[in-house]
């Protein structure tokens, strides 16, 4: 039986900025457009967190039963380490998805936007089929594309929508850098595991591109978001604040471009999460003040 600490580690807390940052950015848009609702923002945050945790447990389960986690570097895997049974981890994944669905339904009922149900169902399906099912798309180099959509575009635009009840161009533009930063977390994670993933037949984008190109892709995922906010400055001047987070990108980019491998990339992953949180907070403030 896994301990509470092991269950927390299995939920991969370092990936949670992927859930938090999009909600911050979407809420910044809602504040700037005069539609802020604290309890709707809180519900959106809980939905995002539960989806991220559900994805992490589902990934743990699916990779664990396939044996691709048996020699994995990085955070503990509950199934791969035998700390928990596959059935227990599956239950945790499905429970997280179910809780996210219930809270999401509450937002749908409040907004009366029934089409949001389809978006929520797509997000849950994307979380499960990333490594689940007979043809997981995460094994076909499509993980980053899904992350950009479901941890970038969908949560930023969705968070703004459930508060303002209007689709916003500002939210859509803001979702681009947020999505790229979410992708950066997956890119460096897959770079860390590129050798073991290749050996077990898990064809992530890092495996397809190879380590050198993946390092370039990671750098682009950190640099382009700052270029986007610079382009936004003429319309939303206060987003220039986001540039203050740029120094946090130096260390992880240096580590990745230096050729670091395996465990050495764990620090880069942690630093990427810190950059993501700082960028998201500053972007949210900038959007709230400028719109």
Q: pLDDT tens digit string along 275-291?
A: 999 999 999 999 999 87
Angle between helices 154-164 and 38-66 (to 10 degrees): 150
Query: Which residue's structure tokens are 């009840």?
Result: 165
Q: In angstroms, rounded to a whole number, what is the distance separating the alpha carbons of residues 46 and 101?
A: 11
Give which of 206, 205, 249 is closest to 226, Cα–Cα.
249
Q: In angstroms, rounded to a whole number, what is the distance separating the alpha carbons of residues 200 and 69?
A: 9
Residue 75 has pLDDT above 80, yes or no: no
Contact 158, 44 (CB under 8 A): yes
Report, as an integer, the average pLDDT of 264-279.
Answer: 94
**25: buried, middle or exposed (CB in 10 Å: 19+, 13-18, 0-12)?**
buried
| Bridge partners, 140 (sequence order) | 203
Contact 178, 229 (CB under 8 A): no
| Bridge partners, 203 (sequence order) | 140
Contact 160, 168 (CB under 8 A): yes
Q: In angstroms, rounded to a whole number, what is the distance separating the alpha carbons of residues 140 and 38?
A: 39
**Neighbour-count burial for 264-276, b at 16+ CB within 10 Å, e otherwise:** ebbebbebbbebb
Residue 132 has pLDDT above 80, yes or no: yes
Angle between helices 86-111 and 115-129 (to 10 degrees): 160
Read off the pTM: 0.94
- Please report, for residues 1, 44, 51, 171, the alpha-carbon distance to residue 15 in angstroms, rounded to integers and kept in the order given: 24, 17, 11, 22
pLDDT score, position 70: 59
Task: Give the pLDDT band of residue 72 (cuts 50, 70, 90).
Answer: low
Which of 121-125, 202-206, 272-276 has the weakest average pLDDT? 202-206
Task: Give the pLDDT band of residue 156 (cuts 50, 70, 90).
Answer: very high
Q: In angstroms, rounded to a whole number, what is the distance separating the alpha carbons of residues 269 and 207?
A: 18
Query: Which residue's structure tokens are 């890119």?
Result: 187
| Average pLDDT of the chain, as a whole number | 94
Other beta carbons less than 10 A from residue 258's beta carbon: 11
């Amino acid at each position: 039986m896994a301990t509470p600490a092991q269950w927390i580690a299995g939920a991969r807390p370092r990936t949670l900025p992927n859930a938090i940052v999009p909600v911050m950015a979407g809420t910044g848009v809602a504040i700037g457009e005069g539609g802020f609702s604290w309890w709707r923002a809180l519900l959106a945050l809980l939905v995002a967190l539960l989806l991220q945790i559900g994805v992490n447990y589902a990934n743990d389960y699916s990779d664990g039963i396939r044996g691709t986690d048996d020699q994995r570097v990085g955070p503990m895997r509950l199934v791969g380490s035998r700390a928990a049974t596959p059935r227990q981890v599956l239950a945790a994944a499905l429970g997280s998805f179910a809780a996210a669905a219930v809270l999401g339904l509450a937002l749908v009922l409040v907004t009366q936007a029934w089409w949001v149900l389809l978006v929520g169902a797509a997000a849950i399906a994307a979380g499960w089929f990333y490594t689940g099912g007979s043809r997981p798309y995460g094994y076909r180099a499509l993980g980053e594309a899904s992350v950009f959509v479901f941890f970038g575009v969908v949560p930023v635009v969705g968070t703004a929508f459930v508060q303002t009840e209007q689709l916003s161009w500002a939210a859509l533009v803001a979702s681009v850098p947020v999505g790229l930063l979410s992708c950066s977390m997956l890119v460096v994670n897959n770079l860390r595991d590129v050798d073991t993933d290749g050996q077990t037949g898990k064809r992530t984008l890092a495996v397809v591109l190879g380590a050198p190109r993946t390092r370039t892709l990671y750098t682009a995922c950190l640099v382009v978001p700052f270029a986007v906010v610079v382009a936004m400055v003429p319309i939303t001047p206060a987003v220039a604040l986001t540039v203050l987070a740029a120094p946090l990108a130096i260390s992880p980019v240096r580590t990745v471009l230096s050729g670091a491998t395996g465990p050495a990339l764990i620090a880069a992953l942690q630093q990427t999460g810190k950059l993501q949180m700082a960028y998201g907070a500053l972007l949210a403030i900038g959007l709230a003040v400028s719109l």
